[in-house]
Amino acid sequence: MGLFKDYVSQTRKPEGKLGKMMIKGMNSGHAKMADWGLSHLKKTQPAMIAELGCGGGRNAGELLKKYPNAKLTAIDYSPLSVKQTAEYNRDMIDNGRCEVLQGDVSALTLDKESYELATAFETIYFWGDLVKCFSQVAGILREGGIFMIVNESDGTDSASLKFEKIIEGMKCYTAEEIETALKAAGFSAVKADHHPSKPWLTVIAKK
């Protein structure tokens, strides 16, 4: 249990060899879920995107493909994730379309009201004070900007709730809890969508 706990705990802040293994698993293992989440972005055409909790960088890359005229800032508080995301998106960085920064979503230093789209894939489990963090996201979005959250867990599935007990600081939120926090942080028009056969959850909120 000790090694298993150490490994799964890397989802919070990947570090060292186990962290590298976890990041590779994130990029491949979460791809279908992330793509399902991305399919919900139908109307927005952002010029500036913030990818919060960027992990291994795969989702940042997919967003840059989906929006070929956009620029993207990827943020993670794990130095290893920052490094891996930069390596994954090296071409986009060299072309001036992507930057990768170490940062904390509870105290974002990005320019205020500068982004049309912010995304958070498989990460809000570790954000702690959701209202505070969501308020930070609202602060960097322009009026009418979109914030999309994509989770593998809808806060009720038994498998994820087991991990919640194992991984320190992890909290699986329900759609209702996320919506309440988003509205308290200043978002409106919150819409949640559950996958028809899996506990996946996508929540889209408009500032």
pLDDT digits (tens, 9 = 90+) for 7-58: 444 444 555 554 455 566 567 678 999 999 999 999 899 999 999 999 999 9
Number of domains in the chain: 1
In the chain the beta strands, taken as DSSP E runs, fall at: 48-52, 71-76, 98-102, 115-121, 141-151, 188-194, 201-206
Q: What local confidence, expressed as pLDDT, does residue 162 receive?
A: 81
- Hey, what are 107's tokens? 């105290």
Element (H, E) at 146: strand 141-151
**Sequence-distant (≥ 6) Cβ neighbours of residue 111 within 8 angstroms:** 140
Residue-level pLDDT at 26: 66
Distance CA 11, CA 26 (A): 9
Residue type, 75: I
- Give the number of other CB atoms < 10 A from CB of residue 44: 15
- Angle between helix axes 79-88 and 58-66 (nearest 10 degrees) is 40
Per-residue pLDDT, 149: 98
CATH number for the domain spanning 137: value is 3.40.50.150
Question: Of 55, 39, 43, which is closest to residue 193 (Cα–Cα)?
Answer: 39
Q: Is the pTM of this model over 0.85?
A: yes
Domain range enclosing 176: 2-206
Helix or strand or coil: residue 115? strand
Sites in the chain below the pLDDT cut of 70: 1-26, 28
For residue 17, what pLDDT is reported? 54
Task: Specify the pLDDT at position 8.
Answer: 40
Q: Give the CA dihedral 58, 141, 109, 173, nearest 10 degrees.
A: -60
H or E stretch including 162? helix 158-166
d(CA 4, CA 94): 38
What pLDDT sits at residue 4?
Answer: 42
Tokens standing for 194? 């559950």
